Structure 1
Amino acid sequence: MNNRVNMKELFLGMQQEMLSKLNTIRKHVTHSGTKGNATELSWIEWLGMYLPNRYSVDQAFVVDYKGNRSDQIDLVIYDKQYSPFVFFQDGVKFIPAESVYAIFEIKQALNKEHIQYAAEKAESVRALHRTSVPIVHAGGTYPPRPLFNVIAGLITTSSDWNPPFGKPFEESMGRLLRVSILISVVH
C-alpha cells in the first residue's frame, strides 16, 4: 500500500478542474454580464474552500471610517475574525478597509484595458483611510497592528497577447507608475 500523495499531480488536477469549469462558462455563457458574474463566483467559491477559515472571500465594496467607499470589487479577501463586514443585505457587502488583505478584478483575458481597469479599482481601495487600534484579549492588550499594503491584482485564464508577458504587457505595466498590481494568468 502506497501512503504517499503526489502533491504536484494533486495540484495540477485541481488546476485542470478549475480551468475546465471556467472554460465551460466561457464557451457556453454568451451574455457578458452573466459570464463575468459566473466566473467571479467560481473564483470566490474556489478560494473560499482553500483559504484558512479566518479569511473570507466575497464581491464587495470597501469602506473606510470616514464613510468613503471604493468601486465594486470582484474579489475581496478579508479578515472576518477581527473585523466583520459593516453591511450585508441582498448580496451587497460593505467591508471595512482595515480588514482587507487583497483585492482582485477577474476578466476573461489579459490586455491593456483590463490592466488599467484593475489598477483603477486598486487605487479606489488604496485611497481609503485605514486605522489600527489596540486589540483587547483575555490576558491584556495587543498593540495596534501596523498597516500593511493591500495586494491588488487581475486574474484571467488567457491573454490577448502572444507571448502573454512580452513587450505589450511590459509597456502597459510601465504606464502604471503609482499603482502596483499583481497579474495572474492561469493556464
Structure 2
Amino acid sequence: MANKIFDALFRERVDVFRAAFSATSTEIFYDSSKARLFHAGEYGIYRESIVREFLKFIIPQSLDISTGFILSTMDDVSSQCDIIGFDPRMTPLYQEGDRQRFFPLESVYCVGEVKSTLSRNAFSQALNKLAAVKALGERIVAPGVARPDQLHFNPTDDARQLFSSFLICQKFDFDTSNIENEIDRFYDPCVAHRHKHNVILSMEDGLLTYIDQGGTTVPYPRFVTQDLKNLFSFPKHDEYYHFKIFSSLLFLLTTNKTPWHPEFSKYVHIADDAATGRIQK
C-alpha cells in the first residue's frame, strides 16, 4: 500500500529536480555556439544547490544540508564534499553564508558527490574520494552519547555507526550491463568494503546499492559482520522507481545513523597550565 497524496508530492519533486538538474542547468550554463559550458564552477554550484533542495524533502527535518569539509579531533580534514548532511544542533563553529563550512565528524550523517556524465575514470575517482571521506567516520577518539543498544564504538561491524555516502549523477558514459559485478574494481585495492558507497543514483541508468543473503535490498556495503553483494536496479515500467528506492534508502540511512556528540574541548587546544587556572605567558 502507499499514500496517494505523498506519492504525488514526491513525483512532483522528482519532476522538478530532474528538469532543473538536466535541462535548466544546461540551458543556463551551456554555450551552444561554442559547444561548451561557460562558468563551469557556477554550473557545478547550481547543480549542487538543486540536489540539496531535493534531499531536504527526503532526510529528517532535524538535519540540515550544506557543503564543506569534515574535521576530526585527530587533526584530520577531508577533501571538500559537495553534500554534507549534518545535525545543526550538534555542530559547533558552523559558518553561515559564504564563509567556509567545517563540520565535526560526529555531527555528520551523510556525505555525497554530485556529478554530470561520468566516464569510467571519473566514476572511479568519485568513488575513491567518497571512500576516503567515509573512512574518517572511524576517527572518533571518545564517542559521545549513543543509543542504549550501541554501547561500544564498533564501526567495523556496525554500519549504523558510520555516516553514509552517496553519489548522484546524470548518467554513466560506459556500458552498465555488468556493473554490479564490476563496480568493486572501480575502487583502489586498499579501500575496505565497509567504506564503499551506500547508494548511487544515476538519473538515466538506475540505482546501485546492496543485497543481503535473503534477497533484501540493503543500503550498507557491510552489515552484521558480512560484506554484502552489489545490486543494480533500473526503472522498467515506472520512471520514478530508482528515485523512490534511493529516497527510501537515504531516509533509512539517516534515521538509523548512530548519533554521536562532538566533544568541544577535544577540538580546541587547551594548554596544560590553563587546566590549573594559571595563565600562560
- 2: distance between equivalents of 1:123 and 1:180? 5
Distance 1:115 1:42, change over 3 A: same
Equivalent position of 1:138 in the other structure: none
Equivalent position of 1:132 in the other structure: 143
- 2: distance between equivalents of 1:127 and 1:52? 24
Equivalent position of 1:180 in the other structure: 196
- 1: distance between equivalents of 2:165 and 2:150? 27
Which is richer in strand? Answer: 1
Question: How far apart are residue 112 of structure 1 and its match?
Answer: 1.8
Question: Matches of residues 33-112 of structure 1 in structure 2 within 5 Å?
Answer: 33-81=41-89, 83-88=90-95, 90-112=98-120
Equivalent position of 1:28 in the other structure: 28
- 2: distance between equivalents of 1:105 and 1:122? 7
Distance 1:68 1:158, change over 3 A: same
- 2: distance between equivalents of 1:183 and 1:143? 28
Confirm or deny: 8 A CA contact 1:75 1:105 kept in the other structure. Answer: yes
Question: How far apart are residue 19 of structure 1 and its match?
Answer: 0.7
**Kindly, what percent of the aligned residue pairs are identical?**
19
| 1:160 partner amino acid | D
Question: How far apart are residue 9 of structure 1 and its match?
Answer: 3.6
Distance 1:66 1:86, change over 3 A: farther
Question: Matches of residues 139-154 of structure 1 in structure 2 within 5 Å?
Answer: 146=153, 148-154=161-167
| 2:27 partner amino acid | K
Distance 1:143 1:158, change over 3 A: closer
| 1:185 partner amino acid | S
Query: Secondary structure in 2 aligned to 1:88?
Result: coil
Query: Secondary structure in 1 aligned to 2:91?
Result: coil
Question: How far apart are residue 115 of structure 1 and its match?
Answer: 2.4
Confirm or deny: 8 A CA contact 1:133 1:143 kept in the other structure. Answer: no
Query: Secondary structure in 2 aligned to 1:77?
Result: strand
Instruction: Give the root-mean-square deviation of aligned CA atoms.
Output: 2.8
- 2: distance between equivalents of 1:55 and 1:6? 24
Equivalent position of 1:156 in the other structure: 169
Question: How far apart are residue 91 of structure 1 and its match?
Answer: 3.0
Of the three residues 112, 124, 149, the one matched with 1:116 is 124
Confirm or deny: 8 A CA contact 1:105 1:154 kept in the other structure. Answer: yes
- 1: distance between equivalents of 2:16 and 2:58? 14
Confirm or deny: 8 A CA contact 1:112 1:172 kept in the other structure. Answer: no
Query: Secondary structure in 1 aligned to 2:86?
Result: strand
